[in-house]
Amino acid sequence: MIDTPVAQTDVDSLTEEEARGELKRLAAEIAEHDRRYHQEDDPVISDADYDALRQRNARIEARFPALVLGESPSSQVGAAPASGFGKITHRVPMLSLDNAFSDDDVREFVGRVRRFLKFDPLQGVLAVTAEPKIDGLSLSLRYEGGVLVYAATRGDGTTGENVTVNARTIGDIPARLSGDVPDVVEVRGEVYMAHKDFQALNERMEANGGKVFANPRNAAAGSLRQLKSEITASRPLRFFAYAWGEMSALPEDTQFAMAECLGRWGFQINPLMKRCESVEELLAVYHRIEESRAQLDYDIDGVVYKVDRLDLQERLGFVSRSPRWAIAHKFPAEQAYTILNDIEIQVGRTGALTPVAKLEPITVGGVVVSNATLHNEDYIKGIGQDGEPLREGKDLRVGDTVRIQRAGDVIPQIVDIDLEKRPADAKPYEFPTVCPACGSHAVREENEKTGRVDAIRRCTGGLICPAQATEKLKHFVSRNAFDIEGLGDKQVDAFYQEKLVTTPAEIFTLEERDKQSLTKLRNREGWGAVSAKNLFGAINARRSIDLNRFIFALGIRHVGEGNAKLLARAYGSWDAFYQAMQAARDPNGEAWAELNDIDGVGHIVAEALVEFFAEAHNREQLDKLLAQVSPKDAEKIEASGSPVAGKTVVFTGSLEQMTRDEAKAMAERFGAKVSGSVSKKTDLVVAGPGAGSKLKKAAELEVDVISEDDWFDLVGA
Ligand code: IVH
């Protein structure tokens, strides 16, 4: 179970400290959703909810640029590859697209592009292409000498899975390209499943007693990532080409002509693609495509716009995870009415009581929906962040007819209530004040500093709460933590109930105890000699583990995967980390200051860490665990790579070879931080003609000053 978001404070009223905590929380939450979506093909929130999380993250980052995390979601795409397939590092990263949700967002996009390029109408029209955004999964195909050498999924954008054997079974993917083709060609596009093929496949799966797929996207993803290529071959997958990665030569100089060229080489390109010369034309294409959506035999979730001229694309470049020259204009979410049958309370690993709406199943946009997120008790009452009314303040009651919305995937949102249909005996929902799993009091803590009451009610049962304990164990063995195969949610629940495994350390003593036990695992229901042996093997394989995984597995509040990596890199070894966490209890000491100084680790995380390690019981558990498991030392990473990595650079004066935005983007690409003013922290000033006071200040502070040409020499661009 994923911990749901806490009630949201308006971004504009967040204090710096709250923002820091929020960014951490959002990073962890987004990473978890990425993992579920990309690795497990099993998302638990709607695309719209996911987009909202990313937007909030981006808005907070825009307000507090200094707090942007090293592992910010805005610089990451998708999730690291799942095990089972070989890995392929993309020579050109596979990026994502920024989203637009309204006509105004599109106007702003075009305006932004023009400003960045200083492209005024006198220079002619700025052509932009528009094409459907296919709701499938992206694939990169590498051809050498015109022959397919490999196919890789996007993975985390840098490294994907090698699915070559499977990709070869897809009819739309040519094994050999036609015509005159450059030596190296990487074609990128979307693997998808047509509606009629999806229905036929599900009917076939159902007839064979198998599980059916929720939607064509999941079916396409599940089919492509089969370890047995015969299965992929039996699944009707298709492919649209729309982009490229490495190319030894570019045969054309516009996006549109490149798409036509991909068509000549033997790919399917989308017939609805158009080249437009104004925003109004782009929007007209968008609305036309939206109208034709119901008639298309495949799912699309928006329209992608791309600056047509490739030289302009090159100048525009990228901003963290997405190109500046493209944007996805998303379709509005689909909606439907249904009945709220019940509200179920789930207890998470940190004791958070999370309400989930149980809905009368209904089909929205081709998918059956029966659950919706309810976030917290205020949300049910119709109270939003900062006490603002939600759904015009209407509270949710069991029996209500509700309007739900989903944008692409599984768990949707309740956006409104039809009060006219409310049953006469419907009562306001009473949120439990005791934990449904252990009966302990469940409380809403008050934040000492802000005086605000937390939106989340938490069980105070701690260790005695079976729900918290099992959720903690599930987290401990999860894929990004200890990743113990064969120890899934079902097994953890069963082992816990039988008191075989109640703490992480007991996972590692299971085999020894099993040897002495009369009721051996292999004789239990659902187990056999092979599965028991495999489980013990999988457990033993984790007796040595990366430090960051170990830290993440501990489930310390606010310490997600990103923070765990930062901590592992900063301290290098478990012993150093552990000692530092003990020493950091002294708020005037060096260890506390050092912990807070780690780039990306804020006050809230630091406090959570100190609190965790101060607890005798946690230390006791750790001792037991460390008797079984050894965390491997981590590589201490200092900023490396380019000569300006980690440096703070100031650009001043008029630059002649690039715009200010381009200069900033370039510096960031090489790992530098760009600042607007010269201070003691400045490492380098790049000065063009007409530089004034900043140059003087640089001289005063003895900061290195170089010319624009020197800059290009330095970074080797
Ligand atoms: S262009 C550098 N065009 O949308 C960006 N992407 O949200 C290259 N997608 O990762 C992507 N249809 O998987 C592009 N016509 C289209 C697309 C498309 C679907 C997917 C693609 C991408 C994701 C971004």
Q: CA-CA-CA-CA torsion for 664, 670, 672, 677, nearest 10 degrees?
A: -30
- Lowest mean pLDDT, pick from 26-40, 219-233, 246-260: 26-40
Distance in Å, CA 328 to ligand 1 centroid:
8
Where are the domains positioned within the chain? 87-320, 546-632, 648-715
* pLDDT over 90 at 288, yes or no: yes
Using DSSP, state whether 157 is helix, strand or coil: coil
The Cα–Cα gap between 294 and 195 comes to 11
| Span 127-136, average pLDDT | 97
Ligand 1 atom closest to residue 95's alpha carbon, by position in its atom list = 2
* pLDDT over 70 at 83, yes or no: no
**19 φ, ψ (degrees, to nearest 5):** -60, -40
Distance in Å, CA 95 to ligand 1 centroid:
8
Closest C-alpha to 320, from 567, 566, 58: 58
Distance in Å, CA 92 to ligand 1 centroid:
15
Q: What is the pLDDT of residues 178-192, one digit of tens each?
A: 999 999 999 999 999
- Lowest mean pLDDT, pick from 2-6, 86-90, 221-225, 392-396: 2-6
Using DSSP, state whether 326 is helix, strand or coil: strand
Confidence of residue 134 (pLDDT cuts 50, 70, 90): very high
Distance in Å, CA 324 to ligand 1 centroid:
13
Spatial contact of 433 and 457, defined as CB atoms under 8 Å apart: yes
Ligand 1 probe mutation, 129, 134, 298, most atoms within 8 A of CB: 134
**Does the beta carbon of 303 lie inside 6 Å of ligand 1?**
no
**pLDDT, averaged across the chain:** 88
CATH 1.10.150.20 fits 546-632, yes or no: yes
The Cα–Cα gap between 382 and 584 comes to 41
The protein residue whose alpha carbon is closest to atom 16 in ligand 1 is: 133
* pLDDT over 70 at 289, yes or no: yes
Fold type of domain 87-320:
D-amino Acid Aminotransferase; Chain A, domain 1 (3.30.470)
The protein residue whose alpha carbon is closest to atom 12 in ligand 1 is: 133
**Does the beta carbon of 95 lie inside 6 Å of ligand 1?**
yes
Q: What is the pLDDT of residues 14-34, one digit of tens each?
A: 888 888 888 888 888 888 887
Confidence of residue 77 (pLDDT cuts 50, 70, 90): low
Q: Is 514 exposed, middle or buried (0-12, 13-18, 19+ CB in 10 A)?
A: middle
The Cα–Cα gap between 68 and 66 comes to 6
Confidence of residue 664 (pLDDT cuts 50, 70, 90): confident
Strands (E), 606-662: 630-632, 648-652
| Residue 582, C-beta contacts closer than 8 angstroms, at least 6 positions apart | 591, 613
| Residue 116, C-beta contacts closer than 8 angstroms, at least 6 positions apart | 315, 316, 324, 659, 661, 662
> Which pLDDT score, from 0 to 100, does residue 320 have?
72
Q: What is the pLDDT of residues 415-453, one digit of tens each?
A: 899 999 999 999 999 999 999 999 999 999 887 667 788
Q: What is the DSSP string of 530-543?
A: HHHHHHHHHHHTTS
The protein residue whose alpha carbon is closest to atom 10 in ligand 1 is: 96
The protein residue whose alpha carbon is closest to atom 15 in ligand 1 is: 133
Task: Give the distance between the most distant pair of CA atoms in the chain.
Answer: 86
* pLDDT over 80 at 623, yes or no: yes
The Cα–Cα gap between 501 and 90 comes to 41
Same fold, 87-320 and 546-632: no
The protein residue whose alpha carbon is closest to atom 7 in ligand 1 is: 97
Q: Which residues are annotated as catalytic? A: 133
Ligand 1 probe mutation, 135, 242, 285, 305, most atoms within 8 A of CB: 242
Measured CA to CA in angstroms, residue 160 lies from 30, 47, 193, 482, 711 at distances of 19, 22, 21, 21, 34
Q: What is the pLDDT of residues 97-124, one digit of tens each?
A: 999 999 999 999 999 999 999 887 777 7
* pLDDT over 60 at 494, yes or no: yes
> Which pLDDT score, from 0 to 100, does residue 579 have?
96
Measured CA to CA in angstroms, residue 63 lies from 13, 14, 66, 280, 576 at distances of 10, 9, 9, 31, 35
* pLDDT over 90 at 470, yes or no: yes
**Does the beta carbon of 323 lie inside 6 Å of ligand 1?**
yes
The Cα–Cα gap between 2 and 29 comes to 8
The CATH number, out of the four listed (3.40.50.450, 3.30.70.890, 3.30.565.10, 3.40.50.10190), of the domain defined by the range 648-715: 3.40.50.10190
> Which pLDDT score, from 0 to 100, does residue 369 have?
86
| Span 376-402, average pLDDT | 90
| Bridge partner residues of 300 (DSSP) | 134
**Does the beta carbon of 304 lie inside 6 Å of ligand 1?**
yes
For residue 394, the 8-state DSSP code is P
Spatial contact of 607 and 541, defined as CB atoms under 8 Å apart: no
With tokens 């051809």, the residue in question is 143
Distance in Å, CA 643 to ligand 1 centroid:
33
**Does the beta carbon of 138 lie inside 6 Å of ligand 1?**
yes
* pLDDT over 50 at 52, yes or no: yes
Distance in Å, CA 278 to ligand 1 centroid:
22
Ligand 1 atom closest to residue 94's alpha carbon, by position in its atom list = 2
> Which pLDDT score, from 0 to 100, does residue 232 have?
86
Closest C-alpha to 496, from 522, 459, 467: 467
| Span 49-75, average pLDDT | 75
Distance in Å, CA 630 to ligand 1 centroid:
42
